[in-house]
Structure 1
Amino acid sequence: MIVVATNVTYLLAAWFLDPRSNYRGLRPVRMEDQIDRALAPYNVVLHFDWGKSPVGAPVNSEIGFRGVVSGQLVTAATLLSVVASVALSVFTASRQCGWWDRVSQLVSVFLFNVPTAVAALAVVLAGIWLSQHLGWATSAAT
């Protein structure tokens, strides 16, 4: 699914985005042949080579590296969610029909109905808030 999503995103970007507009806005103004020469190294899709990033790094190696990091994050998140959910389930089951059971049911129904994008944004904003209040934020982020 990740490979399909990545390739669909790339194809949509290739069809709808105009990389020439980045060069047309530069001063001094670039001629069309200068823009063609500047964009030529980035246009090698048919050989499963996604070219180079705007800073010149090969995109294929970046995808591999970021895929490993994403896999680590997914694995850690899955393990953490399983451990936390089993622990909360056992704790709640031991206090069945009590106030803790009712509160956890209410929270779980609410969180189950929150869209994933909204929950992800809430986690990011909570992380930013937490890092700023604990002094972890750098001066560039604040």
Structure 2
Amino acid sequence: MRRAALLAVVLSGAAMPAAAQGYADAQGGVVRWLDKLTGETGDLELQRGQSASNGRLTVQLDDCRYPEENPAAEAEAHLTIMDSSREAPVFTGWMLASTPALSAMDHPRYDVWVLRCIVPGYTPPEVVETPPEDDAATSEGEGQ
């Protein structure tokens, strides 16, 4: 009960400055899902009003907005998430990209979080994964 009240206060307070800061509506957004049992992950690129299913979950993007001055800074997405084994949604509400734990879906098997809004003309920076250093090769060269 406390968590719900705190969340309502935080989100209602966040909604007021959002309009004052110049937030814009996006045509879509990108969310990431994680299956905690298998370790499998994936990204869903959804247009506003569109839904996609993965396993038992169906994720619908209701809305996505971002700061006009800095699209990479903060995405806010309103999601409705259904689990095929339940009648009611397992999550309905706003998720914030920079603070996913503030309004997280509570599910025993899956996690879902917002990555970004889809903004025309904006390309997010590419993430380059570097392979881990081989400790054995490093230690062989030492001490010779």
Shorter-chain TM-score category?
Answer: under 0.3
With the length of structure 1 as denominator, give the TM-score of the two structures: 0.23
| Structure with more of its chain in helix, by fraction | 1
| Structure with more relative contact order (C-alpha pairs < 8 Å, separation 6 or more) | 2
Which structure would you say has the larger Rg?
1
| Structure with more of its chain in strand, by fraction | 2
With the length of structure 2 as denominator, give the TM-score of the two structures: 0.23
